Amino acid sequence: MSRLTARLSRAGLAAAALASTFAFLPAAQADGVVNVYSYRQPDLIKPVLDAFSAQTGIETQVLFLDKGLEERIAAEGANSPADVILTVDIARLAAAKDRGVTQAVDDDAINAALPAEYRDPEGHWFGVTKRGRVIYASKDRVTDTDISYADLADPQWRGKICIRSGQHDYNLALFSALIAHWGEEKTEEWMKGFKANLARKPDGNDRSQAKSIMAGECDLSLGNTYYVGLMMTNEKEPEQKDWANAINVVFPSIDGSGTHVNISGMAMAKNAPNRDNALKLMEFLASEDAQKIYAAEVFEYPASSGVEPSDIVKSLGTLNADTLPLADIAKHRKAASEMVDRVGLDDGPAS
């Protein structure tokens, strides 16, 4: 057993678990290594991590988790091998900071590359790519594509909107943004009208809403921009291309402030054993070259305004993003979640 593994055992992690899920630990403190804990699928981040290794000679070793990342790092404590955290959604980035598993980074290159609205004011997390929370609109049945978020509560759309759960992080982030702009009272009135316009009880994921639009079950839905790119290029499930072809992407605005965006982001782990290498990776991810590679791979918009999105992403339309700082939006997540329950959004329109 390596010295690092021994220390992890003393932190309360079983040796069997280490063997199965931390295959990279014996090298965790070796020179030329950076350990990444990721909520993003390994195949999505591999191209940009490979480019980093090719440029720097630093090896990246990735532990993918689909849940419990913050809890895992907290349990490992001071002996955690985690250097960099990669995740999606402002709520998860804020949760990592609140859990105390990140550390502040004040780096001129990163701060210059990434707009302030996509950075934690205290430097605990940084947005790398962004996605709009947009409207999927039926190409066949919706002719008006100048639709705002406020319009989704208009009775003209009664029985014509489908969404995934209102408690999903992506919807909660949007509702949090509306609260930040409108206040709780106005947002709750809007949500009641929005609920009344639902075609059915919220269900499925973003892609399945596009499928429902193609099937004629609804005319509008909320969805992230990158899912359209994923559907357009899906060779394993080519029927998803038909779902994408059935919709137009509408970029709604919050009272002229722009389209709500969420991010994929990065943070430095609190006890990063390879801090210098971790900082190099974070600087690279903020760079123009990496932003182009990463954003193209995941069909998202680069966080830096000076970097062009991929051709597929450009084809979706121009994203005029709301510039309200995401840290301010994240403050309203609890209120948004309570509002969803209070209004009964997930119960559907008939409740």
Task: Fill in the amino acid letter for 122.
Answer: E
Q: Hey, what are 300's tokens?
A: 């998202």
Instruction: Report how far residue 34's alpha carbon sits from residue 83's, in angstroms, rounded to the nearest whole number.
Output: 6
Q: Is the dihedral of CA 277, 309, 307, 258 positive or negative?
A: negative
User: Is 226 part of any known ligand binding site?
Assistant: yes
CB-based contact 284:55 (threshold 8 Å): yes
Paired residues of 119 in beta bridges: 126
- Residue 110 phi, psi (nearest 5): -65, -45
CB-based contact 102:270 (threshold 8 Å): yes
Task: Fill in the amino acid letter for 346.
Answer: D
SS3 state at 322: coil
User: Is 301 part of any known ligand binding site?
Assistant: no
Q: Hey, what are 315's tokens?
A: 């084809």
CB-based contact 228:299 (threshold 8 Å): yes
SS3 state at 3: helix
Q: Please provide the distance, in angstroms rounded to a whole number, between the alpha carbons at the two ends of the chain.
A: 58
Among 342, 327, 325, 329, smallest CA distance to 115 is for 325
Task: Name the E strands within the chain.
Answer: 33-38, 59-64, 84-88, 102-103, 126-138, 161-162, 220-224, 247-250, 261-269, 301-302
CB burial of 188-202 (b: ≥16 within 10 Å; e: otherwise) equals: bebbeebbebbbbeb
Angle at 14 between CA 9 and CA 15, to 5 degrees: 80
Q: How many CB atoms lie within 10 A of CB 17?
A: 11
Q: Hey, what are 342's tokens?
A: 């209070």
Paired residues of 162 in beta bridges: 221
**Residues marked as binding?**
226-227
**Residues marked as binding for Fe cation?**
226-227
